[in-house]
Protein backbone atom coordinates (compact mmCIF):
# COMPACT_ATOMS: atom_id res chain seq x y z
CA UNK A 1 0.00 0.00 0.00
CA UNK A 2 1.16 3.51 -0.71
CA UNK A 3 1.83 5.61 2.35
CA UNK A 4 0.48 8.99 3.32
CA UNK A 5 1.43 11.68 0.84
CA UNK A 6 1.55 15.39 1.43
CA UNK A 7 1.90 18.18 -1.09
CA UNK A 8 3.71 20.42 -1.44
CA UNK A 9 6.75 19.38 0.58
CA UNK A 10 8.06 22.93 0.92
CA UNK A 11 6.32 26.26 0.77
CA UNK A 12 7.44 29.85 1.21
CA UNK A 13 4.83 32.54 1.76
CA UNK A 14 4.73 36.09 3.05
CA UNK A 15 2.75 37.49 5.95
CA UNK A 16 -0.90 38.08 5.18
CA UNK A 17 -1.10 35.49 2.43
CA UNK A 18 -3.06 32.29 2.66
CA UNK A 19 -1.96 28.74 2.00
CA UNK A 20 -3.55 25.36 1.29
CA UNK A 21 -1.85 22.07 2.12
CA UNK A 22 -2.98 18.71 0.85
CA UNK A 23 -2.90 15.23 2.32
CA UNK A 24 -3.77 11.91 0.71
CA UNK A 25 -4.28 9.15 3.26
CA UNK A 26 -3.52 5.47 2.99
CA UNK A 27 -6.11 3.72 0.87
CA UNK A 28 -9.06 2.63 3.01
CA UNK A 29 -8.33 5.03 5.84
CA UNK A 30 -11.18 7.38 6.68
CA UNK A 31 -9.55 9.54 9.33
CA UNK A 32 -7.07 12.32 8.65
CA UNK A 33 -5.47 14.35 11.43
CA UNK A 34 -3.31 17.44 11.12
CA UNK A 35 -0.51 18.51 13.44
CA UNK A 36 1.75 21.53 13.65
CA UNK A 37 5.33 20.93 14.75
CA UNK A 38 7.62 23.74 15.87
CA UNK A 39 10.84 23.69 17.91
CA UNK A 40 9.26 25.68 20.72
CA UNK A 41 5.82 24.05 20.98
CA UNK A 42 6.52 20.54 19.80
CA UNK A 43 3.74 18.58 18.14
CA UNK A 44 0.34 20.21 18.48
CA UNK A 45 -2.93 18.72 17.30
CA UNK A 46 -4.87 20.91 14.88
CA UNK A 47 -7.92 18.86 13.92
CA UNK A 48 -9.18 15.50 12.77
CA UNK A 49 -11.58 14.70 9.96
CA UNK A 50 -13.49 11.47 9.69
CA UNK A 51 -15.85 10.70 6.81
CA UNK A 52 -15.85 14.34 5.68
CA UNK A 53 -16.75 15.69 9.14
CA UNK A 54 -14.51 17.42 11.63
CA UNK A 55 -14.51 15.07 14.61
CA UNK A 56 -11.95 16.71 16.89
CA UNK A 57 -10.35 20.10 17.09
CA UNK A 58 -7.28 21.44 18.85
CA UNK A 59 -6.74 24.87 20.32
CA UNK A 60 -5.88 26.90 17.23
CA UNK A 61 -7.43 30.15 15.95
CA UNK A 62 -10.07 30.16 13.26
CA UNK A 63 -7.45 31.10 10.65
CA UNK A 64 -6.69 27.38 10.57
CA UNK A 65 -9.36 25.36 8.83
CA UNK A 66 -9.67 22.12 6.98
CA UNK A 67 -11.91 19.87 5.01
CA UNK A 68 -12.11 16.32 3.83
CA UNK A 69 -13.40 15.05 0.55
CA UNK A 70 -15.42 11.94 -0.23
CA UNK A 71 -12.25 10.08 -1.24
CA UNK A 72 -10.81 10.88 2.24
CA UNK A 73 -8.22 13.30 0.89
CA UNK A 74 -7.91 16.32 3.13
CA UNK A 75 -6.84 19.90 2.78
CA UNK A 76 -5.75 22.33 5.42
CA UNK A 77 -5.98 26.08 4.90
CA UNK A 78 -4.29 28.85 6.82
CA UNK A 79 -5.44 32.38 6.12
CA UNK A 80 -3.73 35.68 6.94
CA UNK A 81 -0.40 34.02 7.58
CA UNK A 82 1.74 35.15 10.51
CA UNK A 83 5.46 34.64 11.09
CA UNK A 84 4.61 32.24 13.89
CA UNK A 85 2.86 29.92 11.46
CA UNK A 86 6.23 28.81 10.13
CA UNK A 87 6.33 25.13 11.00
CA UNK A 88 6.32 21.56 9.77
CA UNK A 89 2.73 20.51 9.15
CA UNK A 90 2.17 16.80 9.49
CA UNK A 91 -0.77 14.79 8.31
CA UNK A 92 -1.64 11.39 9.77
CA UNK A 93 -4.14 8.86 8.51
CA UNK A 94 -5.84 6.01 10.31
CA UNK A 95 -8.91 3.84 10.02
CA UNK A 96 -10.55 6.09 12.58
CA UNK A 97 -12.28 3.22 14.31
CA UNK A 98 -11.63 0.48 16.80
CA UNK A 99 -9.44 0.20 19.84
CA UNK A 100 -6.28 -0.57 17.86
CA UNK A 101 -6.47 2.46 15.63
CA UNK A 102 -2.97 3.54 14.61
CA UNK A 103 -1.87 6.77 12.96
CA UNK A 104 0.53 6.72 10.03
CA UNK A 105 2.28 9.95 9.17
CA UNK A 106 3.21 11.63 5.94
CA UNK A 107 6.57 13.34 5.38
CA UNK A 108 5.16 16.76 6.20
CA UNK A 109 4.97 20.15 4.52
CA UNK A 110 7.57 22.67 5.62
CA UNK A 111 5.95 26.12 5.60
CA UNK A 112 8.12 29.21 5.90
CA UNK A 113 6.43 32.58 6.38
CA UNK A 114 8.55 35.64 5.59
CA UNK B 1 -7.99 13.50 30.15
CA UNK B 2 -4.89 11.81 28.85
CA UNK B 3 -1.38 13.17 29.18
CA UNK B 4 2.13 11.98 28.47
CA UNK B 5 5.38 12.80 30.23
CA UNK B 6 8.74 12.05 28.70
CA UNK B 7 11.13 12.45 31.56
CA UNK B 8 14.24 13.28 29.54
CA UNK B 9 14.35 15.89 26.81
CA UNK B 10 17.78 14.63 25.68
CA UNK B 11 19.53 11.29 26.13
CA UNK B 12 23.07 10.63 24.98
CA UNK B 13 24.55 7.12 24.72
CA UNK B 14 27.62 5.54 23.17
CA UNK B 15 27.26 3.26 20.18
CA UNK B 16 26.79 -0.33 21.31
CA UNK B 17 25.42 0.56 24.76
CA UNK B 18 21.79 0.15 25.89
CA UNK B 19 19.13 2.76 25.28
CA UNK B 20 16.37 3.68 27.75
CA UNK B 21 13.82 6.37 26.90
CA UNK B 22 11.28 6.95 29.62
CA UNK B 23 7.56 7.60 29.23
CA UNK B 24 4.81 7.95 31.82
CA UNK B 25 1.18 8.45 30.92
CA UNK B 26 -2.08 9.41 32.47
CA UNK B 27 -5.33 8.01 31.14
CA UNK B 28 -8.79 7.62 32.53
CA UNK B 29 -9.39 4.42 30.67
CA UNK B 30 -7.46 1.50 29.29
CA UNK B 31 -4.98 3.12 26.93
CA UNK B 32 -3.31 2.33 23.66
CA UNK B 33 0.31 3.44 23.71
CA UNK B 34 2.71 4.11 20.88
CA UNK B 35 6.30 5.08 20.24
CA UNK B 36 7.19 7.00 17.11
CA UNK B 37 10.60 8.04 15.81
CA UNK B 38 11.36 11.14 13.75
CA UNK B 39 14.60 11.57 11.90
CA UNK B 40 15.64 15.12 10.96
CA UNK B 41 13.30 16.75 8.45
CA UNK B 42 11.25 13.59 8.13
CA UNK B 43 7.76 12.51 9.16
CA UNK B 44 7.05 10.24 12.10
CA UNK B 45 7.55 6.50 11.79
CA UNK B 46 5.74 4.02 14.03
CA UNK B 47 8.18 1.99 16.13
CA UNK B 48 5.74 -0.08 18.15
CA UNK B 49 2.34 -0.05 19.83
CA UNK B 50 0.67 -1.53 22.89
CA UNK B 51 -2.99 -2.45 22.65
CA UNK B 52 -3.45 -4.76 25.67
CA UNK B 53 -2.49 -7.99 23.93
CA UNK B 54 0.90 -8.38 25.63
CA UNK B 55 2.74 -6.15 28.09
CA UNK B 56 6.11 -6.54 26.36
CA UNK B 57 5.94 -5.17 22.87
CA UNK B 58 8.59 -5.67 20.22
CA UNK B 59 8.99 -3.13 17.47
CA UNK B 60 11.16 -2.43 14.50
CA UNK B 61 14.95 -1.95 14.54
CA UNK B 62 15.40 -3.92 17.76
CA UNK B 63 13.33 -1.62 19.97
CA UNK B 64 10.91 -2.88 22.57
CA UNK B 65 8.74 -1.39 25.30
CA UNK B 66 7.07 -2.75 28.40
CA UNK B 67 3.67 -1.62 29.60
CA UNK B 68 3.54 -1.38 33.40
CA UNK B 69 0.09 -0.44 34.55
CA UNK B 70 1.03 -0.11 38.22
CA UNK B 71 3.71 2.43 37.30
CA UNK B 72 1.74 4.00 34.41
CA UNK B 73 4.88 3.66 32.36
CA UNK B 74 5.78 2.58 28.83
CA UNK B 75 9.55 2.91 28.61
CA UNK B 76 11.36 2.26 25.32
CA UNK B 77 14.54 0.18 25.31
CA UNK B 78 17.12 -1.21 22.93
CA UNK B 79 20.02 -3.45 23.96
CA UNK B 80 22.63 -1.88 21.72
CA UNK B 81 22.47 1.58 20.18
CA UNK B 82 23.41 2.19 16.57
CA UNK B 83 24.43 5.50 15.03
CA UNK B 84 21.30 5.41 12.86
CA UNK B 85 19.14 5.48 16.03
CA UNK B 86 19.97 9.15 16.57
CA UNK B 87 16.59 10.88 16.23
CA UNK B 88 13.64 12.33 18.16
CA UNK B 89 11.35 9.84 19.89
CA UNK B 90 7.73 10.50 20.81
CA UNK B 91 5.55 8.58 23.23
CA UNK B 92 1.83 8.75 22.44
CA UNK B 93 -1.29 7.74 24.37
CA UNK B 94 -4.83 7.21 23.21
CA UNK B 95 -7.46 5.96 25.58
CA UNK B 96 -9.83 3.41 24.16
CA UNK B 97 -12.89 5.53 24.87
CA UNK B 98 -11.42 8.71 23.47
CA UNK B 99 -10.40 9.56 19.99
CA UNK B 100 -7.44 11.90 20.34
CA UNK B 101 -3.84 10.85 20.14
CA UNK B 102 -1.85 12.79 22.76
CA UNK B 103 1.86 13.25 22.10
CA UNK B 104 4.62 13.63 24.63
CA UNK B 105 7.15 16.45 24.19
CA UNK B 106 9.75 14.13 22.69
CA UNK B 107 13.20 12.86 23.66
CA UNK B 108 16.18 13.56 21.47
CA UNK B 109 18.54 10.60 21.34
CA UNK B 110 22.18 11.21 20.49
CA UNK B 111 24.51 8.28 19.76
CA UNK B 112 28.21 8.92 20.21
CA UNK B 113 30.85 6.94 18.29
pLDDT reading at A5 higher than 70: yes
Residue B8 to residues A49, B5, B23, B105, B107, Cα–Cα distance (Å): 32, 9, 9, 9, 6
What's the pLDDT band for A96 if we cut at 50, 70, 90?
confident
Please choose, from the candidates A102, A30, A21, A106, the residue with its C-alpha nearest in 3D space to the C-alpha of residue A65.
Answer: A21
CB-nearest partner of B99 from A56, A90, A100: A56
Largest CA distance in chain A: 42
Cβ B18 vs Cβ B80: under 8 Å: yes
Q: Which of A32-36, A48-52, A101-105 has the lowest mean pLDDT?
A: A101-105
**Contact criterion met (CB < 8 Å) for B51 and A100:** yes
Query: Which residues in chain B are contacts of A56 at CB distance < 8 A?
Result: 99-100
The span from the CA of A78 to the CA of B43, in Å, is 20
Q: DSSP letters along B11-65, please? A: EEEETTS-EEE--EEE-SSPEEEEEEEE-TTS-EEEEEEE-SS-SEEE-GGG-EE
Task: Report pLDDT for B36.
Answer: 96
What's the pLDDT band for B99 if we cut at 50, 70, 90?
low
What is the arithmetic mean of pLDDT over A6-34?
96
Dump pLDDT digits (tens) for B6-62. 999 999 999 999 999 999 998 777 788 999 999 987 889 999 999 877 889 999 999
User: Based on the number of CB atoms within 10 Å of its own CB, is A97 exposed (0-12), middle (13-18) or buried (19 or more)?
Assistant: exposed
- Compute the count of residue pairs across chains A and B with CB atoms less than 8 Å apart: 49
pLDDT reading at B97 higher than 70: no
**Contact criterion met (CB < 8 Å) for A102 and B42:** no
Quote the minimal CA–CA distance from B42 to chain A in Å. 5
Dump pLDDT digits (tens) for A36-76. 999 888 889 899 999 999 988 888 999 999 999 999 999 99
Amino acid sequence: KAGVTQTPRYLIKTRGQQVTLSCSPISGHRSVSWYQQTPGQGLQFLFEYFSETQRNKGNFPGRFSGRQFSNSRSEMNVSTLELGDSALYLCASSSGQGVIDTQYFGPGTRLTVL
Amino acid sequence: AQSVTQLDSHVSVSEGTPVLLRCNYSSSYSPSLFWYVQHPNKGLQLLLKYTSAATLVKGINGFEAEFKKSETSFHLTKPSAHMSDAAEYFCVVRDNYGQNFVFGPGTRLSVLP
